[in-house]
Structures are given as C-alpha cells and as structure tokens.
Structure 1
Amino acid sequence: MTIEPLKVWHDRGGALLRLRLARPKANIVDAEMIAALTAALDAHMSDTAILAVLIDHEGPHFSFGASVQEHLPDQCDAMLKSFNALVMRLVAAPVPVLVAVRGQCLGGGMEVAIAGSRIFATPDAKFGQPEIILGVFAPPASCILPEKIARSAAEDILLSGRSISGEQAFALGLVSEITPEPEAAALSYFDHALAALSPSSLRIAVKAARLDMVERIRTKLCNLEHLYLEKLMSTKDAVEGLTAFIEKRPAQWEAR
C-alpha cells in the first residue's frame, strides 16, 4: 500500500493552503516528498484567493532531513536539482509561507522551514544543518541562513553541524515565535495579521519585500549547485562520509 507523504487541504474558507508532512516520525525529505510538495505548490499557488501557506507535520518531529542514500553520486544530481527548485518555489512564493515546528528540524527539513516567511516553534525544537559531519554541505541553507541571521551565527550552524534549540533560534531571529502550540500560533497569526488583507495587494507586497533577497538566493544557489555536483562530489571524503553514515560506521577521512 502506498502512503502519500503529504496531506494537502484548504483552511479558513480557502484562504489558507495547508501542507502537512505525513510520514512520521522521520518525515524524510526524499524524492517522493520533494515531488509532493512541488506538485502541491504548482497546483495551488496560482489561486489568487489564497493568502498564505502553512506547512506543519504529523508526529513528534518536523523532519530528520533529506535522504542520505539519495545524496550518493548516482542519485545526487537529480535529487539536488529538484530540491533546490522546491526551495526556490518556497523562497519566491507569492504569499507568506508559515511553518510550524516541533521536535527535530534538521538538514533538508530545516531548509524547507527556513525557506518560508515565519517559523513558529516549540522551545525545545532542534534546528541544525549536520551535513558537514557527513562530509558535504547544505546549498540552500548556505544561501538562506546569511539572509536571515547574522553571518557569524549562520556560519557556526553551517560549519559546525551542531543543533540549536527553538529558544536559541528565536534569539537569533530565525524563529518568529516560541510557543508550546506552533500550529495554533501560526493559525492565530494568519487570523489576526493576514485574513483581512486584500489577496492581490498582499501578493504585490510580498514580492516587494522579498524581491532583492529572492534574486540573491537564486543566483547563489545556482552557483552552489555547480560547486556541490562538480567539486564536492568529486572528492573521496564526500562519498566516504555519506557511505559511512549509511553503513553506521566512523568515516575515514583522506583529506581529498
């Protein structure tokens, strides 16, 4: 039996598009999840009655991240291009994208979250980009984090691979609101800040507010896609780190 990875429906009289990651507990952002999120955005973002999108999740965790298997050389080209395209769809979305996070929000899952407009998270949620620990790097996060928080904090997250709590992410400005009920807080934000607005004017205001950022991220992400596929994945250490993770053993780095 095939279980759909994403639940899609309309809320608030059709003004709020709901997208729910629905493969707990890991909610892995694999090829199927990427395709489902992309299809949902393609199908609904042209609906001019929509004022916002809310992405949340089933289970205790937002996402453990992307599929490590799909990062291996025989699959990473297609995976990375489709994932980067999804991230750009979220960054350049014509309406605000709200994200509600509990538990782990790591790797590709964190990149989905930070591509949105506002994150609502529990104090004990965990945000992290652990890719460097596996010998690789996170292209979308490398573009988005320096746009949202101080560069020194962004580089710490990207280069150490450590996780930070929801409270720490809030202090950095990455999370908009800390709350024990992120979904309810996101819905409350929609009701009080967005529901009464003109849909057409909001779309123009979103474009105005994000225009330069969207173009910077688009240009940088294109360059980092090339760096990842042509440079990083030609090194022995990148393949070794991914393989070691899959085989559940320590990586043996060769510095090449």
Structure 2
Amino acid sequence: MTAPAPPVRAWIEQEGALLRLHLARPKANVLDAAMIAALDAALTAELGRPGLRGVLIDAEGPHFSFGASVEEHLPDACAAMLRDFHALLLRLLAPPLPVLVAVRGQCLGGGLELAMTATRIFAAPGAMLGQPEIRLGVFAPAASCLLPELIGPAAAEDLLLSGRSLTAAEALSAGLVQAVADDPEAAAIAWFTMHLADKSAMALRCAMQAARGDRVERVRRRLGDLEALYLNDLMRGHDALEGLTAFLEKRPPRWEHR
C-alpha cells in the first residue's frame, strides 16, 4: 500500500535564505491535526537554520485553505485542536523571522487565521478571505484577536459577526492583505528578493522581535481567555453542536438560541 503524501511540503531555497511551506492537501487544504503537526515539525526543523531570512507559506490547488477541520471542532476533539492550532499561530506570529503568505481562491476560517500571522499577505485577484465560523454556530478565537490588530475593531466585528468574505480588492483596501498579484507566489518571492534577501538574518530576527513584541503578548493573553469562552460557554450550549452537526450533515441548522 502506498503511503499517503505528507500534508505539507517543506524545502529551503534562495541559497538557504527562504523556508518554503506548501500546504499539500488540495483542493480544501483543511488544517486538521496532521497538517498542524506537519507545519509545526517543519518550523522546529528549520527555523534555527543559520542565514534563514524568511518563510513563505502557500498552497497546492485552486484554494489556499477552507479552514480548520469541522470534525475536530466537535466536543471530543475541540480542546486539543484549539490548543495545538493556537500554539502554531503564536509560533508563526513570533517566528522570529518575516513570514510571507501567498493566497489563491478561498482563504477561510483557520486558513485566514494562519495567513494573518504573516508579515505580508499576497493575494490573487480572485481570492476570497473570510471568517465564516458564525454561520456554524461558533466563533473564531484567533481571528477575534488578530483581525482587530490588522483592520481595526469595527471592520473586524463586521467580518466576525456576519461571516461574510472580502474580495482580494476589498481586503487590500482594508489592510488585510498588502498586495494583489496574478501570481502571488512570484510576487512574494520578488518582494523577499528585493527587501529581505540582502539583510542580516540576525538583524531581521531582532527587528521582528522589536516590532511585534507587544502585539504577540496581547494576542497570547487574549487567546487564553477566548479558548476558555469557547470551551466552557459556547460548547456547553445547544447551538454550537447543532451548527457543526448540520454542516456535516449538509442541512440547515435548527437554532434554539442557547
């Protein structure tokens, strides 16, 4: 029996300066436990490499990611899923190197939370970015921390409460992405080559720590509170399980508003 392909492909290029992390479970590139573990393992193996000056995350197929596994949001698995996923996000938020993300197609839920750890997001013109968790009767803990930092409280609340998605152009205008390009991977590599490749890796590490120190600590503190809200309040009610189950059963949810 042929072993399944790994959920993430990792390699070094640009003469040892750039770590590439490629989500490799198209078309959805669901951020399940296996993919989260593979991303964490790649970071563990490579982030200490001397001379590394950046990380680029992109994805195989037409979509960056449909988000975290809905099955792993169910009560028996959600505590472990939140713990491991949030640990990964915090690690990328303080790598301590610039992280670039190239987005095509749908970038939703946990996929957008992953992208929001980036120094810069490069999006294809047809990309759609959103946090649809509210439609499933749940909320997005990490996005609730990261979105206000990036686009301000009012715009963040719009996305978190409505569940709607932004086009690439809307996301650029809002400040959620920093560039729109027909080939976002090539645009990210070009930006890396122009702005980071000739820098001192040591200087970049210190500059990232200096620039992000307060933000990382704010997110870290808030995430703990929101994990508790998710597990101790939301998941003990009726509607969260109903919404997740309805999604898996491909039917409309029957809310009881509790």
Q: Which band: TM-score by shorter chain? A: over 0.9
Where 2:27 maps in the other structure, the secondary structure is: coil
Q: Indicate the residue corresponding to 1:240 in structure 2.
A: 242
CA distance in 1, matches of 2:29, 2:10: 15
Q: Indicate the residue corresponding to 1:94 in structure 2.
A: 96
One-letter amino acid of the counterpart of residue 32, structure 2: D
CA distance in 1, matches of 2:170, 2:208: 27
TM-score under structure 1 normalisation?
Answer: 0.99
Write the mapping of 1:112-123 to structure 2, written as runs, cut at 5 A.
112-123=114-125
- Of residues 68, 79, 87, the one that matches 1:85 is 87
1:156 aligns with 2:158: yes
1:108 aligns with 2:100: no
CA distance in 1, matches of 2:154, 2:231: 26
Where 1:10 maps in the other structure, the secondary structure is: strand
Q: Indicate the residue corresponding to 1:18 in structure 2.
A: 20
CA distance in 2, matches of 1:137, 1:14: 39
1:62 aligns with 2:64: yes
Give the % identical residues.
60
- Of residues 1, 4, 7, the one that matches 1:5 is 7
CA distance in 1, matches of 2:43, 2:234: 30
Task: Return the offset for 1:117.
Answer: 1.1
CA distance in 2, matches of 1:145, 1:11: 31
Query: What RMSD in Å do the two structures reach over aligned CA positions?
Result: 0.7
- Of residues 163, 167, 178, the one that matches 2:169 is 167
Task: Return the offset for 1:48.
Answer: 3.0
Where 2:51 maps in the other structure, the secondary structure is: coil
CA distance in 2, matches of 1:60, 1:162: 20
CA distance in 1, matches of 2:77, 2:48: 31
Q: Indicate the residue corresponding to 2:231 in structure 1.
A: 229
One-letter amino acid of the counterpart of residue 142, structure 2: P
Task: Return the offset for 1:142.
Answer: 0.5
1:65-85: CA deviations, max 9, x gaps? Answer: 111011000111111110010
CA distance in 2, matches of 1:115, 1:132: 21
CA distance in 2, matches of 1:87, 1:232: 22
CA distance in 2, matches of 1:90, 1:116: 8
Q: Indicate the residue corresponding to 2:251 in structure 1.
A: 249
Q: Indicate the residue corresponding to 1:212 in structure 2.
A: 214
One-letter amino acid of the counterpart of residue 35, structure 2: M
Where 1:17 maps in the other structure, the secondary structure is: strand
Task: Return the offset for 1:243.
Answer: 0.5
CA distance in 1, matches of 2:216, 2:151: 16
One-letter amino acid of the counterpart of residue 217, structure 1: V
Write the mapping of 1:125-204 to structure 2, written as runs, cut at 5 A.
125-204=127-206
1:144-196: CA deviations, max 9, x gaps? Answer: 01001121111111110001111100000110101101000000000000011
CA distance in 2, matches of 1:168, 1:101: 14
Task: Return the offset for 1:88.
Answer: 0.5
CA distance in 1, matches of 2:13, 2:183: 18
CA distance in 2, matches of 1:146, 1:126: 19
1:44-97: CA deviations, max 9, x gaps? Answer: 112231100000011010001111011000111111110010110111110000
Bigger mean CA deviation after superposition, 40-49 or 193-202: 40-49
Task: Return the offset for 1:115.
Answer: 1.2
